[in-house]
Amino acid sequence: MEPLLGVLLGLILAVASSAQNNCSCATNKWTVCAQDGPGNCSCTLVGSNHRVDCSTLTSKCLLMKAEMTPLKEKCFWGHPHGLLDSDGIYNPDCEDSGIFKARQCNQAGTCWCVNTAGVRRTEKGDKSLSCGELVRTSWIYIKLRHKKRSSAFSVPDVANALKHLFESRYKLHPKYITAIKYDSPLIQIRLNQQNSEKSRCDVDIADVAYYFEKDIKDDSIFHSNSTLTVSVNGDALDIEKIMIYYVDEKPPEFCMKQLAAGVSAVVTVVMLTAGFGIAVLVILRWLRTRKYEKVEIKEMGEIRAASLQ
């Protein structure tokens, strides 16, 4: 009887251990998960106590915050990748809902305003900078380039493959995919999502673009961390370059100082070039006139000498 109880106990422990190991967040590798009940897996974001809904995409702001977590807190998940852009690396401030706060600041006390995609839309300032509302990014343009191949794909086939990818992998409703254009090797994808038509269960196009960009750059956020493969009628669509443009519901608020400085520099260069050119022309004309004068004086001297003879 006792050996049988031992076997049963071992089986129970093995099943429990297996369930514990299978407890993970499929849509976010930057999480720590644990069983908090029979068949219930609870996941929190690395570096915080924020609960993560693993049935959908995690917001871009929370992902950026997780990626900025020190190495010692997530070394067992692989190499960390901080956010590197034209504004440098910073740890974003997020609302409880996961969206970006309108004003972001770095450790040096420099602040700027962002849109719902976390992209800077104002000049930088100090902590007295006021941003007001968080402006929504309603349009996203994605430009792709695939590797050269002997023949181009069919335009409808490329469009269908990418639509299926965005719907199945990123859970984006097809109504937000407004256009896909293909002219080998270039692909353009246009996403549109107005705030008035977005429901609570819909994923945000800014989060979709972030997940997609990470997939293309072979740094997938999904727990499987597998390389993204897009197939067009059985042939791989090998994407080698991606660029993303964000268009807000309101125009950006960059001041004209930098533009004025750039225009002033261009005008200065043009004026200096023109002045140099005019100076060269004047000098050449003066040299030519002086040469003619010498020739005339010489000829007159020769004529006078001949008349005296």
Q: Using one digit for the tens of pLDDT, what is the confidence trace for 19-74?
A: 445 789 999 999 999 988 777 899 999 877 899 999 999 999 999 999 887 644 44
Burial of 228 (0-12, 13-18, 19+ CB in 10 A): middle
Q: What whole-number distance in Å separates Cα of residue 176 and Cα of residue 173? A: 6
pTM attached to this predicted model:
0.73
How far apart are the C-alpha atoms of 233 and 158, rounded to whole Å?
A: 9
pLDDT tens, position by position, 198-216? 888 999 999 999 999 999 9
Reported as a pLDDT band with limits 50, 70 and 90, residue 260 is very low
Residues 143-172 have a mean pLDDT of 96
Instruction: Note the pLDDT tens digit of each residue in 158-195.
Output: 999 999 999 999 999 999 999 999 999 999 999 999 98
Backbone φ and ψ of 282, nearest 5°: -65, -45
Helix/strand/coil for 19? helix
What's the mean pLDDT when you consider all of the chain? 80
The predicted structure's pLDDT at residue 16: 40
Residue with tokens 């409880």: 96
Look at residue 5 and tell me whether its pLDDT is greater than 60.
Answer: no
Q: What is the pLDDT of residue 25?
A: 93
- Sign of dihedral through CA atoms 38, 40, 44, 46? positive
Taking residues 96-100, what's their average pLDDT? 93
Q: Which residue has the higher pLDDT, 105 or 290?
A: 105
State the chain's maximal CA–CA distance in angstroms: 151
Picking from 19, 81, 77, 67, the residue whose alpha carbon sits closest to that of residue 223 is 77
The domain spans of the chain are 31-70+84-248
Query: Three-state secondary structure along 61-93?
Result: HHHHHHHCCCHHHHHHHCCCCCCCCCCCCCCCC
